[in-house]
Structure 1
Amino acid sequence: MRSAIWVPLFDALAEPAAVVRLAVEAEEAGWDGFFVWDHVNWRAPVRAVADPWIVMAAIVARTERLRVGPMVTPVARRRPAKLARETATLDQLSGGRLTLGVGLGSDRFGREYSALGDETDDRVRAELLDESLEILKAAWTGDPVDHQGKHFTVDGISFEPRPAQRPGVPIWVAGYTGKTRPMRRAAQYDGFFPVNLEHPDQVAEVAATIGSLRAPATTTYDIAVGLPPDADPAPYAEAGATWRLVAFGPNDLTVDEVRAVVRAGPGWDQDDVTE
């Protein structure tokens, strides 16, 4: 199991330079990744919100090994052509260290859809997500993309340069455990990020379900779990999780609070898990 820091870019952590310094320290302390929330607004008491893509670009410019990614970006509120350019450029800049976390997003935490005139219907957002992911996968090939869909059109446009990773940037799909459609969607891509995780048994269920949905020849797949800093990751690794994202809440978070966890290091190694 690999370990990452996962932070909201709110208030004290809306200062890009402070977050970049934390990421540099995380790499020095042996963390494998540094993931960030992707939001344009959040409910009170949060006031300041930073852009994750600008912050991630600054992080990869100052680090050499650390994997980065939005966890997760609500694809329904983004234009797939713009996202294709951003992901390929960031992956090139990082030398192939981007992981793209994707999901439906939600309007309930900051009215990010209703307050900005974006789609609030979950089923329509699911359509937008699926169609956008089709376009992204096609765009990352570098070949001309011809897509005539319900929501988007791409008429013979090539998206170069391609991402550094081949065939493209790994995609982790967020969703609720126990629900069929998110797991079917996740099985088509590179990883699953359960958003309602409460115990390791859910991870085992996810691993079994997604394993049954994927082609037998497919071997590499990630299951990422968000855990509090003091949670023991070993039972989750035994159940099939491949990444632990140490999670921090959105309210009253300080740089020093994150730094203390960063400097302590991952503190756990997969060799500690007995088979």
Structure 2
Amino acid sequence: MQFGLDVPTTQEYADARVLAQLAADAEGVGWDGFFVWDVLPGVDPWIALSAIALHTTRIKIGLMVLPLARHRPWLVARRLADLDRLSGGRVICTVGLGDPTQDAALFNEEGRATVRAQQLDEGLAVLDGLWTNEAFSFAGAHYTLNGVSLTPRPIQVPRIPLWVAGGWPRQAPFRRAARWDGVSFKSIHHDTRQFLSLDAFRDGVAYVRGLRMPQAPFEIVMSGDTSGDRQAARAKVQAFGEAGATWWVEEGLGWSLDEFRPHVCAGPPKP
């Protein structure tokens, strides 16, 4: 299992230098991933990730979660490719529908989930196509490209890993994730609004695995909070690992920077 951090980009975290130093601290004590939000208001995640890339050498970096429908996918493809090259091939991108109260209502953008889902699916196809083709054309309901070439390309081949966020037991995000490189479980059950139980997690893992070729590489990401007793934290993470998680991502939501930094510097809760 690998261990990552899901780090806010708002309030006291809204400083690229602060995030870069926190990422360097995390790398130094053995964390494997450092992922930042893409929300408004907050520091621009592309600026923050560029600073993080230059302050670290090993740790995976990326967005968690990028609401792709809010962006032009060809610009996202270029930014992620440049970031992958800047970091030496360490980028992962987690995508999702986003929060319409943040991403749509405030700016009079598209808020219907069905349309945003279409834009997300088309956007993923555009990312992949631009990274893997000499010249890429696409004709969708929302995006059209005519023989577009993207250079320089990402270091990672065939593409930068694309994970899809989803709240179980909603199945649509898991069907979408099965077409890409990983699924990131929301820590809260979509229906009960309680922390996702082990049994529910197992159900979600079984569902998405049933849509994949058995031998194909695929990451299964679980998020949560392991504050408190260290032994209990390790047991919790181990249980999710045995249930199929390949990543545990520690959530920074609700922590002040002064609280979160020592938690990060204590290192990942490896069983």
TM-score where L is the length of structure 2: 0.91
> How far apart in 2 are the matches of 1:223 and 1:32?
15
1:135 maps to 126
Q: How many residues align?
A: 257
Report the Cα offset of residue 211 of structure 1: 1.3
**1:215 Cα offset (Å):** 2.2
Structure 2 stretches lacking a partner, 5+ long:
190-195, 228-232
Q: Deviations over 1:89-128 (max 9, x none)?
A: 11111111111100000123xx331111211000000000
Superposed, 1:71-90 pairs within 5 Å as: 71-90=64-83
* Distance verdict in 2 for CA 1:127–1:60, change over 3 Å: same
User: Contact (CA 8 Å) 1:174, 1:194: kept in 2 or not?
Assistant: yes
CA separation in 2, counterparts of 1:160 and 1:148?
Answer: 21
Range with greater deviation from structure 2 (178-187 or 71-80): 178-187
Deviation at 1:189, TM superposition (A): 0.5
Distance (whole Å) between structure 1 residues aligned to residue 131 and residue 200 of structure 2: 33
Inter-partner Cα distance in structure 2 for 1:117 and 1:90: 30
Is 1:155 aligned to residue 146 of structure 2? yes
2:4 maps to what in 1? 4
After superposing the two structures, state which structure 1 stretch, 208-217 or 148-157, moved more.
208-217
RMSD value, Cα: 1.3
Letter in 2 for 1:12: E
How much has 1:255 moved relative to structure 2? 2.1
Distance in 2 (CA, whole Å) between partners of 1:155 and 1:199 is 46
- What residue is the counterpart of 1:37 in the other structure? 37
| Shift in Å, 1:254 | 2.6
Amino acid at match of 1:236: F
| Kept after mapping to 1: 8 A contact 2:163/2:183 | yes
Deviation (angstroms), 1:216 = 3.6
Q: Name the residue aligned to 1:256.
A: 258
**Counterpart residue type for residue 228 of structure 1:** D
So what's the TM-score if we normalise by structure 1?
Answer: 0.90
List 4+ stretches of structure 1 deviating above 3 A. none
Kindly state the Cα deviation for residue 202 of structure 1 after the two structures are TM-superposed: 2.3
- Structure 1: distance between partners of 2:179 and 2:7: 27
Answer with 253-262 or 9-18: which moved more. Answer: 253-262
- For the 8 Å contact 2:70–2:103, the answer to whether it is kept is no
Counterpart of 1:69?
Answer: 62
Bigger relative CO (Cα 8 Å, ≥ 6 apart): 1
C-alpha contact 1:191 1:221 (8 A) present in aligned 2: yes
What residue ranges of structure 1 are gaps of 5+ in the alignment? 42-48, 270-275
| Aligned partners of 2:81 and 2:154 also within 8 Å | yes
Opposite residue 62 of structure 1, the aligned amino acid is H
Contact 1:74 1:102 in 2 (8 A): yes
* Corresponding letter in the other structure for 1:165: Q
Alignment check: 8 A CA contact 1:18 1:255 kept: no
